[in-house]
Amino acid sequence: MAKKKATGSILKSAVKKVVLAYSGGLDTSVILKWLQDTYDCEVVTFTADIGQGEEVEPARKKAKLCGVKDIFIEDLREEFVRDFVFPMFRANAVYEGEYLLGTSIARPLIAKRLVEIARKTGADAISHGATGKGNDQVRFELGAYALMPNVRVIAPWREWDLNSRDKLLAYADKHGIPVDYKKRKGGAPYSMDANLLHISYEGGILEDPNFAPEDSMWRITVSPEKAPNRPEIVELTYVRGDIVAINGRKLSPANVLIELNRLGGKHGVGRLDLVENRYVGMKSRGCYETPGGTIMLRAHRAMESITMDREVLALKDDLMPRYARLIYNGYWFAPERLLLQKLIDESQKTVNGNVRLKLYKGTVLVTGRSSKTDSLFDPMISTFDDDGGAYNQADAGGFIKLNALRLRIAANLKKRR
């Protein structure tokens, strides 16, 4: 007997194979079984290690128990930092003045691999566990459509009626889906998302924006009060806008971020409590830990300060909020983001040198910056001492009068009125 129609006019029976972004947790485990039952289709699972700090191999065992034949588990940490995090930090991207886009920047990578696996396995649909209220559904799907325009997307949270934890647990029990004990007991009193760049906390008790989270919530940073009483000096080496070494030791992109997370977390750097504007229209309160990213942003701006032309830097700063919104809203693969990236990357050719930082009780203080090849800082011109004629101070008078001309004309006009 033919299946009934799914959402819209597409028959559920038309779906033969689906690639599911699968973590092995409660939600995606239920989704896996739900897809098999509702669409009578084969499910391929894809689990990405992007530095979330949890074992990904248990997802293989759970998928096998559900009869999945094609199981993809991939270590994407280097690709994540090299091709997504680093390019974003070349732009100094910050959303709404504070958020370092830790969740946002991971979604296009996952969407890219979902599409690639769909092509490889001959799947005609992809699926994810993002809710209909959040930003991630937009990010996953915009990324997928940009790379595979005719792909079918199945978003169970927009179709099913399993809209509570109790209903999910009941479904899991009915179908023999193993559930972690902590999940059954309610788990954390909030929702978490983690990757190599950050950990986010939202929902649950954090939905009251006036609620102060307990110190026990934070996972990778100590509180500034409990951080070491002595500061730590760190030196970062940059090549074309990317960090290539820490304290003289060359590291891969992923290992750069791992080490900066360790250093920043140790000194209480990178905590943020924020109310942000979601793309879907509502305000949302989230708490974030981004120790390595906080250090990277401060250091990168310091490196640019001596190696980048004033107007180029100003242009980058003008474009940055738009670039950040593109990432936050899910337009990583859009032509406007790609065009902006080319401009940003061109500006980074001279961003080479070293930045010295002091980490101390939640703060990151720049204490030095140098570039042997690309510094625009000329001490002979900048000095307050005798510059040997390198700069003629008398020139400033004409410069000021010319720049004041429009102000003087307007002031004279007011006098005549």
> Considering the domain 12-187 in this protein, what is its CATH number?
3.40.50.620
In angstroms, rounded to a whole number, what is the distance separating the alpha carbons of residues 126 and 284? 27
Annotation says 371 is catalytic: no
Report pLDDT for 8. Answer: 43
In angstroms, rounded to a whole number, what is the distance separating the alpha carbons of residues 386 and 359? 36
Report pLDDT for 1. Answer: 36
Largest CA-CA distance found in the chain, in angstroms, rounded: 93
For 59, list phi and psi in degrees, rounded to 5.
-65, -30
Among 90, 107, 337, 369, the one annotated catalytic: 107
In angstroms, rounded to a whole number, what is the distance separating the alpha carbons of residues 112 and 120? 12
Domains 12-187 and 194-308+351-370 share a fold: no
Among 13, 70, 124, 191, the one annotated catalytic: 191
Annotation says 406 is catalytic: no
Burial of 229 by CB count in 10 Å (0-12 exposed, 13-18 middle, 19+ buried)? Answer: exposed
The answer to whether 118 and 16 have CB atoms below 8 angstroms apart is: no
> Considering the domain 194-308+351-370 in this protein, what is its CATH number?
3.90.1260.10
What is the distance between the terminal CA atoms of the chain, rounded to a whole angstrom? 88
Q: Show me where the domains of the chain are located.
A: 12-187, 194-308+351-370
Report pLDDT for 386. Answer: 92
User: For each of the chain's 417 residues, which pLDDT tens digit applies?
Assistant: 334 444 444 556 589 999 999 999 999 999 999 999 999 999 999 999 999 998 899 999 999 999 999 999 999 999 999 999 999 999 999 999 999 999 999 999 999 999 999 999 999 999 999 999 999 999 999 999 999 999 999 999 999 999 888 899 999 999 988 877 555 565 668 889 999 999 999 999 999 999 999 999 999 999 999 999 999 999 999 999 999 999 999 999 999 999 999 999 999 999 999 999 999 999 999 999 999 999 999 999 999 999 999 999 999 999 999 999 999 999 999 999 999 999 999 999 999 999 999 999 999 999 999 999 999 999 999 999 999 999 999 999 999 999 999 999 999 999 998
Report pLDDT for 105. Answer: 98
The answer to whether 142 and 16 have CB atoms below 8 angstroms apart is: no
Among 136, 139, 242, 325, the one annotated catalytic: 136
Annotation says 27 is catalytic: yes
Q: Residues 6 or more apart from 322 whose CB is under 8 A from it?
A: 340
Annotation says 23 is catalytic: no
The answer to whether 8 and 14 have CB atoms below 8 angstroms apart is: no
Report pLDDT for 3. Answer: 41
Report pLDDT for 178. Answer: 82
